[in-house]
Structure 1
């Protein structure tokens, strides 16, 4: 599978004890390791992917070569398994099952449709056709524009969970060597490690965030951990709450946000204040160095 443009977590994603639940689709890059099962509409996994849990899909399931699933696979549609795929549990498919050579399903299978032993369409080709069908656009310019919107820097409004190549997600860690983009109304578990982080509104994270680039937290979020940016800026939106410390080159806090830890910023801390009377731009107060929020 081709490299995606980062870890993209859509709106309303929930990390439960054993599964990641998404309202839309899930795309998993090559060599990714997931300590969760997956529940979604369409689920597509690349080569050498390891998933420790059940896969439950309302649409197709496509798993590419040499991937391992430590659990059951259930789909209300068709299942496509590449060569040397291994499933430790049982496979249930309401539709058809297409399998490549040397596929191993320890728990057996229950398929209502046809069972065909052949090499299914490679995932990289399927992704191409999938995106074309999803976009339903005619010209190359429109397709390119839609793809940019699909994986933009803004809070994702789509419903696709995109996990990049070699990412690792488990109860303790959410790690990707790319940027991370989180939508709104999500409930996430684990410590983020990424190049940068952009989080939407009304999210809850039980963990810390550590990046080399900027960290942006939207409105009404609660972070049960620390925010650390080794080279960038941390910005906290209105009514958000940080239960740990914040460390960055610069820190920008809205006056309604709260933090229970210390603030450490080499180039200063800025407090945003709403301009309620409409005179000019938003007022700010600037502090330098290390301080507790109660000192402001």
Structure 2
């Protein structure tokens, strides 16, 4: 799930918060210069959140640091050494680990349990591996179905950075039907039906029916379906459909191709690295188990 940065449809970047229609899964070691408003919100260990967290259910792994308030309309899980600089409000049950700091107090309507919640991703993989080892395939399938309840979530890979200035990850970046603030930096970048107020830099870049208020720089750049770029485009190879426009300089070191129709899709840019991501996650589980 965390092998690419995904900003799904109808996501809005406001000055202080990212507003998400669905769920949010944030990896470990991330830096978020925003708060998050969504449904289910899961945040990996050692991640910093500069604003408020508001969701239907919340889970914060160990050493998370939230600068604002935290509000859960359902249950909340806070792992060891989590710090909340504002107030915690939980309308359901609260499960809390050791050495959790809540600087402006908390209110919980349901049951309060003090223990050490296991990090979410580690728990899922350990449990899944145990089910497969015992040959309980039906239960494993049910677990996958539960995981799939995170329907098209807002996803941020480990060690990524999001703030007013930059949206940065060393993984691929996929933006669909959203309004995004900040300069986008990723491995390969696909922007569909969105408006980005900032530049874009990556290796392979697809701009599909989008408006970009900044420069685009990459190796291979495709601009299609009436896209508008308010800045220069610089790449080794630039492919531009006739109905799309670029207001700045158009620079292709090896060439610029302008065609009436360019056949390219998101899948050609954002490669699904399933085997690689599964291997990496297994290695992380093994390290934590040692």
How high is the TM-score relative to the length of structure 1?
A: 0.79
**Aligned with 2:73 (options 65, 72, 76):** 76
Match of 2:240 among 241, 245, 253: 253
Q: Secondary structure at the match of 1:95?
A: coil
The 1:143–1:246 alpha-carbon spacing in structure 2 relative to 1, beyond 3 Å, is: farther
Q: Summarize deviations over 1:19-38 as a string: whole Å, max 9, x none.
A: 11111111111100000000
Whether 1:207 aligns to 2:194 is no
Please give the secondary structure, in 2, of the residue aligned with 1:124.
Answer: helix
SS of the aligned residue for 1:266 comes to strand
Distance in 2, matches of 1:54 and 1:142, equals 33
Cα RMSD, aligned residues only: 2.8
User: CA 1:158 to 1:227, structure 2 compared with 1: closer, same or farther past 3 Å?
Assistant: farther
Distance 1:96 1:197, change over 3 A: same
Q: Paired residue for 1:243?
A: 230
Q: Distance in 1 between matches of 2:46 and 2:183?
A: 24
Query: Following TM superposition, where does structure 1 have runs of at least 4 consecutive aligned residues deviating by more than 3 angstroms?
Result: 125-131, 137-144
Deviations 1:198-244 (A, max 9, x none): 111x2100000011x1000112x110000000xx2100012110000
Which residue number corresponds to residue 273 of structure 1?
Answer: 260
- Taking a change above 3 Å as real, the CA distance of residues 121 and 204 of structure 1, as seen in their structure-2 partners, is same
Task: Give secondary structure in 2 for the equivalent of 1:256.
Answer: coil
Runs of 5+ in structure 2 lacking a partner? 129-136, 264-290
Over residues 145-178 of structure 1, what are the superposed CA-to-partner deviations in whole Å (9 max), with x where a residue is unaligned? xx9xx8xxxxxx9530110111000000111011
Larger Rg belongs to: 1
Cα deviations across residues 47-85 of structure 1 (Å, max 9, x unaligned)?
Answer: 100000000002x10000011000000011011000000
* Alignment map for 1:18-37 (pairs within 5 Å): 18-37=16-35
Offset at residue 143 of structure 1 (A)? 9.0
> C-alpha displacement at 1:122, in angstroms?
2.1
Provide Cα deviations, 1:87-128, integer angstroms capped at 9, x if missing partner. 000011110111101000001111100111111232224555
The CA deviation at 1:140 is 7.3
Match of 1:110 among 104, 107, 110: 107
Q: How many residues align?
A: 254
Rounded to whole Å, the distance in 2 between the matches of 1:130 and 1:24 is: 25
Instruction: Give the aligned partner of residue 224 of structure 1.
Output: 213
User: Which residue of 99, 121, 125 corresponds with 1:124?
Assistant: 121
Partner SS for 2:121? helix
* SS, match of residue 240 in structure 2: strand
Check 1:112–1:142 CA distance in 2 against 1; reply closer, same or farther (3 A cut).
Answer: closer
- Provide the rounded CA distance (Å) in 1 between the counterparts of 2:248 and 2:240: 13
- Specify which structure has the higher proportion of helix: 2
Q: Which runs of 5+ in 1 are unaligned?
A: 132-136, 151-156, 276-280, 282-296
Task: Choose the corresponding residue for 1:39, options 37, 47, 52.
Answer: 37
Q: CA–CA distance in 2 between the matches of 1:263 and 1:56?
A: 43
